[in-house]
Amino acid sequence: AQSVTQLDSQVPVFEEAPVELRCNYSSSVSVYLFWYVQYPNQGLQLLLKYLSGSTLVESINGFEAEFNKSQTSFHLRKPSVHISDTAEYFCAVSDRTGGYQKVTFGTGTKLQVIP
């Protein structure tokens, strides 16, 4: 069985400050990792994903996440946040093995950017 833990349900941060949203996972097999963002009253959008190769992955709007296998983490970071980054962020994990790819989502972290 796999699981995802997002310890912080809410993260307030001032505009232009850095932010880190934490994600830890557990799985008995190799995994793919994803971050999704949900803006108010919208569905989720894929922000970035780790499949293989470089452990640091980036999105087009300045977010990055680093896969750390030893710590089973995939934390999301941005060096300087903007008001428009206010949203809920979900970490997700799926296994690489055969059969149906079960995707497990975390409970989400609400990022509130304060002007």
Interface ranges with other proteins (CB under 8 A): 9, 32, 34, 36, 41-46, 49, 51, 90, 94, 96, 100-101, 103, 105-108
How near is the Cβ of 16 to other proteins at its closest, in Å?
29
For other proteins, give the closer residue by CB, 85 or 88: 88
Closest CA to 109 of 4, 3, 1, 2: 4
How near is the Cβ of 25 to other proteins at its closest, in Å?
13
How near is the Cβ of 29 to other proteins at its closest, in Å?
12
Q: What is d(CA 41, CA 71) in angstroms, rounded to the nearest whole number?
A: 34
For other proteins, give the closer residue by CB, 15 or 110: 110
Q: What is d(CA 2, CA 13) in angstroms, rounded to the nearest whole number?
A: 30
